[in-house]
Chains A and B, each alone.
Chain A
Amino acid sequence: MNILVINSGSSSLKYELYDMKDESVLASGHVERIGMETSIVSQEARGKPDAREVSEILDHTAAVRKVLELLTHDEFGVLTAISDIEAVGHRVVHGGESFSESVLVNADVKKKIRDLFDLAPLHNPAHMAGILAVEANMPDVPQAVVFDTAFHQTMPPTSYMYAIPQVLYRKHKIRRYGFHGTSVDFVSRGAAELLGRPLEELKLIVCHIGNGASCTAVLHGKSHDTSMGLTPLEGLMMGTRSGDLDPAVVPYTINKEDLTLSEVNSMLNKHSGLLAVSGLSSDMREIIQAMQDGDEKAKLAFDMYTYRIRKYIGAYAAAMNGLDAVVFTAGVGENSDIVRASVCEGLTFLGIRLDEARNAVRSQEARAITTDDSKVAVLVVPTNEELLIARDTFQLVRQAAKLQPAGGIRKGWIE
């Protein structure tokens, strides 16, 4: 069964085509600058030459049409007909309180995603455009939606409520939702596999450290608490986001600098974090380079960044009254041994003993980077949100079709 995974942005669309027989990627690509006369489509397909084309793609429907054309193209494509795609899975950022798991798209689901536009004004409308575009091009193909927030719907109210007037929760659903759920779900299963223990008895802290960054306390396989909140701004310090700060800073700054709401939003989301403290870059690699060259501001940025991750690990170990493993994932988490070492340095009181040689290894594999006698393991588990979306879509479609579960689907997924 072939499944197309789509991540639809306001002016871009990324896609992967999976063959679920062996969970391999048949083709992947992206469309950029949707809505312009010079849109760019590029695709890499297994055993076929790379394709790249500049043309006018005015909306998401035209973008999906172009993707389908490329996937079935004589020279660049891997499919003989569009009907070879049996289902489409979409990433959706915000599922609010309506979705605690992935679902197949129907009229009710679409309405609920629309109702959540206010909570994710930059993302959900773009995802909806992607869903409608697939519908227009392939009306009979089932579609599934996988939410970044769904995994965190298991959090208890002690974790998700803010201590502000409750009318704000009742009226506007202002609460902690958390993000990166698909990734946390994926890597915590990988961590359990690697540890050789059932996920249901583990206390894990997953640090998804990429351009956006969050920590999640995964208690017995379920999200217990997470650092991102109503929006992805809360929690850890990030590339250009401030993370936690005294909320009074916002009105105080608005008043002192005569800022509008959109200016202060932009300041906290796009002009803060590593970029603001270092004055150099939002990219951790450049920060580390500058720090090693003796730049003091870069060092402060780096130290603040790792200090905050350490604080969250300490807090979540306390929240779960124990800890079996810390799991690093996503761009920085998977690739920066220096960040991992710096975070773990101050966590020896938990019984973490980092193995420097293991930490220094660069690899695409899930692995432990602590010594064998470390009381708490530290793992690196590469994330793969697209694959999880493909799997969820596959499962949902199969359930709906009431097919016999085929064996071997989950086998070998950690390699």
Chain B
Amino acid sequence: MNDAQTLAVQVAAIEQVTPLIKHFTLKSVDGGPLPAFSGGSHIIVVMRGNLRTHRNPYSLLSAPHRLDAYEIGVRRMEESRGGSHFMHDQVKVGTRLEIAHPVNLFGLDKIARKHLLIAGGIGITPFLAQIEDLRGTSVPYELHYAVRSAEHAAFLPRLREREGERVHLYYDSEDQAIDFAGLLSEQPLGTHVYVCGPAGLIKRVVDTAHAYGWPGSHIHWEQFSAPPVGDAFDVFLSRTNITVHVPHDRSLLESIEGAGVEVPYLCRGGVCGFCQTAVLELDGELLHNDHFLSDAEKARAKSIMPCVSRARCKSLVLDL
């Protein structure tokens, strides 16, 4: 996508739901309905600050059949390039933002016999929308939700009210941990597992499921990597014939966009592969942070996902 295809929205409500998470309600500026979507979808929020434009992906947590507003949850990141701080500190009720049409890279499998949903922290957001799709179907599902402590359990009242006993809650502060082996060894055939949250949680679930012989097609996870900070470097764009400086706290994609060069993207989180760019020359190493390229492709160093990956290099030439 590019910014020409965004929807104009206005912040209708903001609620601080945990010490770190704010809950935003967005309505279209013209008051009309927003596009319908499917549970698990995310939007890119375009935040135009004074110094730079941030574009961050956030899962939609509102009910997919509700078209008068979109809701997102934003966790304040400690190591932030500024997007989550912008949402927390700059955005007020009435602030106008641009968003992209929803994209679903974490959809529910429609022929699953059962859905096992596992969330850690802010990873609860896509599941809030998905359970709206699931409620009322005849397919069974369970939600397992792990948080640091009671005060960090975002959206729990909403979950309790709508889901009751189907929510299994785990507080780190009380040494309650998900029994991954117990959970994943006893599911009926045809169950699909979905996990969203911190990298460690995702790895535990995926590794345990594989160990118990789950087919890869039944294991789903989503983790939007925030582009990590790193050393500054320069990149030469061969088709545009310009050199772009990538500062330590900006991503390669943001820096290229800042120079006025458009790169097609979807997720901006290293998941979809849309911004894959060919590396023509490299003196140094690529620091791959995406979940799209295989290890072999990463080692070959012939392409890069500029949304999350960087380089430590003397020179880098991209086919842009």
Q: Do A and B bind each other?
A: no
